Each structure stands twice: as C-alpha cells, then as structure tokens.
Amino acid sequence: MKNFDFASFPRINLDALLCSADIRSQQEYFQVDEQLPFEPDGTGGHVWLKIQKRGINTDWLAGELAKFAGVHQVAVGFAGLKDRHAVTQQWFSVNLEGFVEPDWSAFETDDIKIITYTRHGKKLKRGVLLGNTFKLRLTNVQGERALWESALEQIQQYGVPNYFAEQRFGHQCGNLYRVEHWFSTGKAPKKRNQKSIYLSAARSWLFNLVLAERIRLGNWNKALLGDVMLLAGTKASLFLVDADDDALQERLDTMDIHVSGPLWGRGNPAVLDDSSLLEQAVLSEWQAWQQGLEKAGMSQERRALRLFPTGFNWQFIPDNQLELEFFLPAGSYATAVMRELAVISDAQHRNYERGESVLDVADRIAEVKENVDI
C-alpha cells in the first residue's frame, strides 16, 4: 500500500518551517474576487450577475438563484466553486430566455450582495476563468520579522512551486487511496463524478512528484535539455528546449516562460533527453497509475512548475497580523503561496477536527470538486 504525505514535499524556503501563522480565523480574513477572461457583451438571453457571498457555498447559491428566477438549476452557470468559509465575489449566469427577469435586489440578504449584473448571449461555463484576486489576513504570526520579510521578497521576485494543494486530494489524501484501490484492483468507481475527482487527483499527485524532485535537484526553475517550456499566461503555448541558451534562461528569469511538468494521459510524453530521463525515473514506480490514467481516456498535457503571484503586496499590522494581496491564474492555489511563507494552520480545518457538521462535510466535498478540471 502506498503512503501519501503531502507534507513531505520540499519547500524552496526552508526558513518557512521556523515561522507560523493562522489563516481564515474569520471569514472576512479570506477574500476572493473572481476575474473573467472577457467582459459580458451586455445583450442576450442570459443574465450575468457578480455576487458577493459570505459563508455560503457556490452550489447552494446556484440552486437558490434558480429557485428565485423560476428556472431549472441547469439554467444557472458559474466558472468554479468557491470556499464557503470566506467572503467571495464570483459570477453567475441565469438563462432567462422566455422568462420575465426578476428584481434581483430582492435576492439580497445580509450574506448575499449583488455587485453588478448585465446580459450576455451564452451561459457561463465551468473553467471560463482568468483567475482570482486574493486578499488575506494571517493572524497569530510567529517567527522573526526578518525571516518573514525575506520570504515575502523572495515570493515577489521568484514565485513559488506550483504544487497542486492538499484540498485536491481529499481529507487526509483519501482520494489518492481510492485511486490506488481502483488502479490496483481494476474496480472503478460507479459514479461518474467520483471517477473525475479521482482521475484529477491522480494526475495532480504525479505532477507534484516530478515538481518535488526538481526542487530537490535545484532545477525546478532552470531549463534542462528536452524540457517543454510553457509561455506565461497560457495553457497550451509550448516549445521544446533543444540546446543550452542564455536567452532562454533570461526569459525564465523574467517570468516570460516557465518549465512545465506532466499531467499524465494518453500519447507520447512531450519531453526528451535529460528531462525525459528525469520524469521516467520519478514515475518508474507509478506505472499502474500511468496506465490507469491512459485507460480512463486522459490525454497528455503540461502544467507550469512555477507559480508567479502578480500584484503581490503585504502589510504587517498590529497584534501579530499580516495582510496579503495578490492575483493567481486559474488552476493555482493560494495555499501554495502560503506554504513558502510559514507553517500555516487553517482555523476551519481545526473546526473539522473538533467535529464536522453536515454542511461542513458537504463543503469539504465541494472543495475537492472545485479543483477538478478548472
């Protein structure tokens, strides 16, 4: 039986282990503002609403929107799920073709605010997301100020490892144990959504293994012969490294391009030479998982090994607190940034350990679903 320990993945900043802080001690201390890749055009049969919600999960709010508008829930669209234990702003679309538009102000409550609304010709689909702006407040900040300042400056200049975060793998990595059972016995989950969650977790774990090894070798942000580079801000603009090139390293240093790692699936791996040998060595004991992903119909893709938060700013405030603000592209995790700062304790996870309510369990499931193919 394989053992899955996310905490074993290496950090760039070893001094992070000498610092600690709490996150999400209040919902207002974890704010997320969703950014679309385009502006709604202002016409069409779909109403697009940007809604601020507090202490509410996305699926529940989508259902309430459908009831309020008198439409089926399938008529409501959103780009991705957002954590209930936060104050978040995100877009929803409601197909009102053939329906009278309601007074949206009547939908508001103390915890639900309509920021703006407009029209568009199409439904907002899952994954149609540029990224998220985060505004966080860490509390109970412990450790030498100089270590914190150094870590913050390193992140601002060099970015962080682009790990898939713990929530990708379920509570105590439970989804990975289910993957192992599936791929070792051939007994696939019966429910389609479970398959999707487990396949996503499996690909993410293999990616993290490759990233972790490149961190240990000190080349996670340096080009190897045969690497595939990913143009910053894209998911599919790729090119192969076929020679040592100073200009290439300069583009890496200026965040124009990033080294990529594997999202496993069918097809020949894109990497060659030294990069191929490295990835083969790391994944040599995971052939059953590779074969399982291929059999399930996943396709080879690449993901940047490095995550660069833009607009990264911070401010220390009284009572051992730190405010942070930054933007991350879709598919990346604020917790990957936090991991390079300190040992972070999530107040909501502590609440789970004390005893979960039914809503908390539902939200934990939603947190896993949030990161599936978004």
Ordered by start, the domain boundaries in the chain are 6-17+162-307, 38-128
User: Would the CATH topology of 6-17+162-307 be identical to that of 38-128?
Assistant: no
* Residue tagged active-site, from 83, 227, 346, 363: 83
For the stretch 247-304, pLDDT in tens is 898 999 999 999 999 999 999 999 999 999 999 999 999 999 999 999 999 999 999 9
User: Above pLDDT 70, what percent of the chain?
Assistant: 93
Task: Give 38-128's CATH code, choosing from 3.30.2350.20, 3.30.365.10, 1.10.150.570, 3.40.50.2300.
Answer: 3.30.2350.20
**CA-to-CA distance for 130 and 115, rounded, in angstroms?**
19
**CA-to-CA distance for 346 and 357, rounded, in angstroms?**
17
**CA-to-CA distance for 260 and 282, rounded, in angstroms?**
15
Whether the pLDDT of residue 357 is over 70: the answer is no
Retrieve residue 365's tokens: 């499931």
Whether the pLDDT of residue 352 is over 50: the answer is no
- Judge contact between 313 and 324, C-beta under 8 A: yes
Whether the pLDDT of residue 28 is over 70: the answer is yes
Residue 374 is inside which H or E element, if any? none
With CA atoms as reference, report the closest residue to 49 among 85, 76, 73: 76
Look at residue 366 in the predicted model and tell me its pLDDT. Answer: 45
Whether the pLDDT of residue 145 is over 70: the answer is yes
Q: Catalytic: 373?
A: no
**CA-to-CA distance for 339 and 135, rounded, in angstroms?**
16
> DSSP letters along 284-343, please?
GGGHHHHHHHHHTT-B-EEEESEE--EEEEEEEETTTEEEEEEEEETT--HHHHHHTT-E
For 23, 33, 90, 92, 268, the CA distances from 42, given in Å and listed in that order, are 38, 21, 17, 14, 44
Identify the architecture of domain 6-17+162-307 in CATH: 2-Layer Sandwich (3.30)
pLDDT mean over 131-158? 98
